[in-house]
Amino acid sequence: MTFTSKLSTLLLVASTTMLLTVPALSATLDIGGVKVEDSLAIYNNTLLLNGAGLIANGKTPMYVAQIYAKQKFKTLDELFAIPGPKRLVLTAIKEVDTGPIVKMFNRSVDEIAGKSDRAKLIPGLMSIGELFKANRVLKPGEVMTLDWVPISGMVIYLGGKLQGQPYREAELFKAAMGVWMGDQPVDAKVKEALLGHI
């Protein structure tokens, strides 16, 4: 056996050993101490993590946002075109004042809905407003999820408990997604992360 063939065999064995000893990649990310799963199963569907980002107040991390759908997407239009359920997850790291989120949500509704559309959304907007009045803060570790379920509409959970009734109008879900991924998002870098650009 020549020196070259011995070296090739040695490298092959070394490479194989390394491949066998490298642990399997974890299906969980850690963002700001929050465990982010790369997929989840809801409503008899498996959803894939499209992106996740950390929202901060200055240098203080406040909460983590993560978005799931049945397939990957790069824009909000692509997200809305994907069939099946979708889920946005917000996990508080520090105490989060929900007031600014509600203001951005209302602004997002104005951008998405015309005057006639907004009129039909008023009952849902009032109900969502009451929901956030009753939950003015998210406590550290608390999780809020906003789901889009095609047969029922937007469903909001806080700490795993259903809040109110489903909101059937797709415009409300689109407005909610616009808070984090719209033209004027909470954080531009987080928008890029949620859309899978980084």
d(CA 145, CA 87): 7
Amino acid at 4: T
Q: State what percent of residues in the chain have pLDDT above 70.
A: 86
The pLDDT value recorded for residue 115 is 64
pLDDT tens digit sequence for 48-106:
999 999 999 999 999 999 999 999 999 999 999 999 999 999 999 999 999 999 999 99
Check which CATH number belongs to the domain holding 115 and give it: 3.50.70.10
Pairing label, strands 45-57, 39-42: antiparallel
Query: Residue 2: inside a domain, yes or no?
Result: no
Measured between its terminal Cα atoms, the distance across the chain in Å is 48
The pLDDT value recorded for residue 140 is 97
Give the structural domain span for 180.
25-194
Tokens, residue 145: 């999820």
Based on the structure, what is the number of domains in the chain? 1
Query: Residue 131: inside a domain, yes or no?
Result: yes
Q: What mean pLDDT is predicted for residues 149-159? A: 96
Q: Give alpha helix (H) positions in the chain.
A: 3-21, 76-81, 99-112, 115-134, 170-181, 188-194
Query: Residue 90: inside a domain, yes or no?
Result: yes
pLDDT tens digit sequence for 157-180:
999 999 989 999 999 999 999 999
